[in-house]
Amino acid sequence: MQERKTGAEGRAPGQEAVAYLQGLGRFGMRLGLERIRGLLERLGHPEEGLPPVYHITGTNGKGSTASLMEAILRAAGYRTALFTSPHLVHYEERFRFDGRPVSGVELAAAVEQVRRAAAALAAGGGVEPPTEFEVATAVFFLLVQARRPDAVVLEVGLGGRHDATNTVPRPVVAVVTNVALDHTDRLGPTVEAIAYDKVGIARPGVPLVTGALDPAALAVLRREAAALGAPLWEVRPEEAALEARDPRDQGGQAAVATYRLRSAGPDGSCWDYRGPAPAPARWDRLPLTLAGPHQVANAAVAVTALLAAAATERGLPVTREAVERGLAAARWPGRMERVRWRGREIWLDGAHNPAGMAALARTVAALWPDRRVVLVAGMLDDKDVEQAAAAIAPVAARAVVTEPPSPRAARAERLAGALAGRGVPVAIQREPLAALERALQEAGPGQPVLVCGSLYLVGTVRAQVLAPTAAPGG
């Protein structure tokens, strides 16, 4: 994934479209629905009349959860559309149909429609230019309108309440994977404020599914679900205590789904699922190819969301067989992804905030209980670098600190200082591939090398080490 721009000369149509989209990045991420609503009106409201929409937000894991839901729906025989962000290597990855990125030609045609609508909107005056994400969202809606899939899996860009994707009138399910402190400058300084922003994607009568465990976040989600009359489905690890709740939090009991990890390894996990009425399920020994205990939590949320949606009038039925096939086939690049380069094994993970780094540390400890890893780490400056370093430091033998290819990159010295302060030996190598080469030199025989801290960093490394196989679909 790159934020760098290139010249316009000699571009194919898809490259021109991507250059236009990335050029809008100069307007930044500005929350609010006025611009996107005006744009969609100019386009004839492509967000209306969509196939069943599965809408997903959360501090961490929303992309993984979205990809798991899409894989299960596809395994059930449905034609799917998946919108996620950001991309790792190619912009087209954000728009997937039946598991494949949209072609450059299709992307160019949809972008041109939106570009003309945006220009007409600007000519009318009184409205700021749309942001990159707003235009990308409108592009996705046009692509869905043209392709007419059976199901749409829609990942929020930031927050929920004021996100461009929240123009969808009525999804079949709303999902809040979890809630933690991140983007506090945009979403609010507390877990409660962030939970309130994220639950803004909920709708009256539409199931709301969450894997949030933080009591403060849950209180907000329960309160808002009750106010909307949205059936609440909570997903918890089996071992979590079923605490008595203040009935004022919610005007009734939530449906509770549970999961239990049986085993976890580098190639995935085996786990059990228990779903509540009105969609009871007792499914043992489910597979999961995505590595890490935290991915089992994401899978449980994905399965619960699909079952909750299936219990509604517009939801699509899924069977255990489809769940098993989807979970076994799911791939989500850059999330505890194992690749090989120059005969060595490298792990890539996009964890980029304290909660994500803590989950990554638990995964590392579970996979290699008797070893610590060599990190290649770089972060963005608007993240809580110090707390993220504190979370990952216990599993790091040493670190080579680098800088993601983004104007928002944190200086390597900041992350290096935070890790060194936690007792991790550090070196600085600003260029990512050079940092990886140094980490491989310093790693002992069989010692894992882990690239983490930023999706921009992971995307850049992935593109370079997998260059022959990193092209998008046709």
What pLDDT is recorded for position 278? 67
Assign 87 to helix, strand or coil. coil
Query: Which sign does the torsion angle of CA 28, 36, 207, 68 carry?
Result: negative
Give 253's contacts (C-beta < 8 A, 6+ positions apart).
none
The residue among 174 and 12 whose pLDDT is bigger is 174
Strands 80-83 and 95-97: antiparallel
Question: Confidence class of residue 342 from pLDDT cuts 50, 70 and 90?
Answer: confident
Question: What pLDDT does residue 140 have?
Answer: 98
Cα gap 237→147, rounded to integer Å: 38
Instruction: Provide the residue ranges of all domains of the chain, joining segments of one domain with +.
Output: 13-329, 337-467
Q: Which candidate, 102, 101, 97, 137, places its Cα nearest to that of 117?
A: 137
Give pLDDT, residue 471: 44
What CATH architecture applies to the domain 337-467?
Alpha-Beta Complex (3.90)
Least confident of 126-140, 143-157, 249-263: 249-263
**Stretch among 11-20, 298-307, 388-397 having the lowest mean pLDDT:** 11-20
Q: Which pLDDT value is given to residue 11?
A: 63
SS3 52: coil
Q: Which residues face 464 on adjacent strands? A: none
pLDDT higher than 70, residue 26:
no
Q: What is the rounded distance in angstroms from the CA atom of residue 452 to the CA atom of residue 430?
A: 14
Euclidean distance between CA atoms 38 and 51, whole angstroms: 22
Residue 426: left if φ>0, alpha if ψ -120 to 50, beta else—which one? beta
Of 141-145, 201-205, 222-226, 276-280, the range with the lowest mean pLDDT is 276-280
Q: What is the pLDDT of residues 67-94, one digit of tens each?
A: 999 999 999 999 999 999 989 888 999 9
Choice among 43-52, 151-160, 339-348, 393-402 with the minimum mean pLDDT: 339-348
Does the pLDDT value for residue 403 go beyond 60? yes
Peptide bond into 86 cis (omega under 30): yes
What is the pTM assigned to this prediction? 0.89
Q: What is the pLDDT of residues 106-135, one digit of tens each?
A: 999 999 999 999 999 888 777 788 899 999
- At residue 10, the pLDDT reads 54
Domain 13-329, classified CATH 3.40.1190.10, yes or no: yes
Per the CB < 8 A criterion, the answer to whether 379 and 385 are in contact is: yes
Determine the average pLDDT of the residues in 419-424: 97
Taking a C-beta distance cutoff of 8 angstroms, is the pair 164, 157 a contact?
yes
Sign of the dihedral defined by the CA atoms of residues 140, 145, 150, 156, in that order: positive
pLDDT at 382: 86
- The encoded tokens of residue 174 equal 């709303």
| pLDDT exceeds cutoff 50 at 473 | no
Q: Is 304 exposed, middle or buried (0-12, 13-18, 19+ CB in 10 A)?
A: buried
Whether a cis peptide bond, with omega within 30° of 0, leads into 149 is no
Give the pLDDT confidence of 29-43 residue by residue, as tens digits: 667 799 999 999 999
Strands (E) in 63-184, as ranges, are 80-83, 95-97, 100-101, 151-155, 173-176
What whole-number distance in Å separates Cα of residue 51 and Cα of residue 218? 30
Per the model's pLDDT, the better-predicted residue between 352 and 142 turns out to be 142
Dihedral sign, Cα of residue 412, residue 414, residue 415, residue 419: positive
